[in-house]
A and B are shown apart, each in its own frame.
Chain A
């Protein structure tokens, strides 16, 4: 790659929890405008990888660079500031809070001398930003729990992009969704390429990942056992490696 925009490079990353080697010698590169699929069984190290990239954990060894600059995130906030945002499957939004408060969670727009939340702006922006993702909500004051599962995932994605995410990690975005809801979310994820986002997608669903992704990384027991470009592989080939 000539340009280094929104590029993540991991070199020889190790992470241990006690005597368990959660990640062993992981080296990989992800770039903007591409969808990178992280495949693997439970316990393969996918979550640990995501948590290291998003600043929840720190690697024990190895080098982590964003746009050719070495980084050491102490917490998710620092990763967010570097443009790295994660959408977790269950933690994307808070159902009991309303939609616009969820959209601006942790980034509340304030105005006036008393630093109060600018509700009109927050509601207007939420409705506008969701519309870009084909979601029309009439009432942004509704509890976010009243949105469908797919809409919640898209809300979290729209929110991440609005707040400047350039590198977006999606953790099993469709695993809890029905077929039709999944299709809608997949359609929106595919469009993230055009926004030049570096997408890292963690998935169980090989068919879906294959139809959506550009690059595939297969994890087993904390190791990166295979790395493929879409042109040089097939869903069946990926499955055979995973199930070997």
Chain B
């Protein structure tokens, strides 16, 4: 039975109320097609990109760490794939695979540095955010003299990659990008792993109390390093989606995505201190992000207001979650 207490002690309840509010708000005030299939598709597409990143970020945050480097990993991945296909003449699947190995290695380095040094991951990954972005821009300029590359659609193996990452499914005349379905699949997997497997229990325990978890024999360092590799994987996945959707790469891809992914997780009820959070909440957080971002356009309001709205949503979410938790969960 679902009691009121049980409901309010769930991390995603606040986010669900927020979702109802923003959707209702734009359903009333955004008359230019927000409610149409096109409108739905447009915010689901935005939500899916942030959502896939945020699922990795949520698991990492529950384990007690942050990854600020994912934004630059997206830029790095897209440029790496472009350079490897256009300059090194590799086929796109091979280029993507090599890029994946590099990106996972960067994630591994982030993780190892954090667990070995004991320093806050906020600082370590802030450092790698700048390093990776800088390396991406420098190498790209060195090799091609440019920071944007196009024309990838003609490269070998593009069609295969595009059919996996950049495809779309037509539902009553509207093309829904395949990234939406990937997002849902990642969400289901993330939910099952977190709530129903041993690894999930270890992730919660690692974030809630590293010391207690390690005394119970949980390999907390391995848990954290693996999750840094997971966030790196998610960044790669989004990069490939963008490359195969736009047929080009840009060193600045993914800028600020690291923050937006954290915002989605926090709106979804994940605690900044670790040990608590929910994948469903994060999915809702990403959905709120997409609805607000596209809803403002449909409402015909200047898009600058989007940032204000997201800031307000973030702070309200933290306040509301805090109140609910104090009142119903911790008492």
Residues of A whose CB lies within 8 Å of any CB of B are: 56, 76-77, 80, 86, 88, 91-97, 101, 104-108, 110, 114-117, 119, 143, 145-146
Chain B residues in 8 Å Cβ range of A86 = 215
- In the complex, the chain A residue whose C-beta lies closest to that of B198 is A108
- In the complex, the chain B residue whose C-beta lies closest to that of A106 is B216
What CA separation (Å) do A107 and B215 show in the bound complex? 12
Establish whether residues B209 and A94, one from each chain, have CB atoms under 8 Å apart when the complex forms: yes
Chain A residues in 8 Å Cβ range of B330 = 95, 143, 145-146
Indicate which residue in A80, A91, A106 contacts B211 across the interface (CB closer than 8 Å).
Answer: A91
Chain A residues in 8 Å Cβ range of B276 = 96
Establish whether residues B198 and A146, one from each chain, have CB atoms under 8 Å apart when the complex forms: no
Q: How large is the interface on B (under 10, 10 to 19, 20 to 34, 35 or more residues)?
A: 20 to 34
**B331 interface residue, CB < 8 Å from A?**
yes
Chain A residues in 8 Å Cβ range of B201 = 101, 104-105, 108, 117
**B208 interface residue, CB < 8 Å from A?**
yes
Establish whether residues A91 and B212, one from each chain, have CB atoms under 8 Å apart when the complex forms: yes
Main SS of the interface on chain A?
Answer: loop
Chain B residues in 8 Å Cβ range of A107 = 216-217
**B28 interface residue, CB < 8 Å from A?**
no
A-B contacts besides A94-B275, A116-B197, 13 pairs, CB < 8 Å:
A76-B215, A77-B217, A94-B204, A94-B208, A101-B204, A105-B213, A106-B202, A106-B216, A107-B217, A116-B192, A117-B198, A143-B9, A146-B331
What CA separation (Å) do A95 and B196 show in the bound complex? 19
- In the complex, the chain B residue whose C-beta lies closest to that of A105 is B216
A198 to chain B, nearest CB (A): 19
Establish whether residues B204 and A80, one from each chain, have CB atoms under 8 Å apart when the complex forms: no
Which residues of B in the span 151-207 have a Cβ within 8 Å of any Cβ on A?
A: 192, 196-198, 200-202, 204-205
Q: Indicate the member of B215, B217, B329 with the most A CB atoms within 10 Å.
A: B215
What CA separation (Å) do A107 and B201 show in the bound complex? 10
B69 to chain A, nearest CB (A): 27
Chain B residues in 8 Å Cβ range of A80 = 217
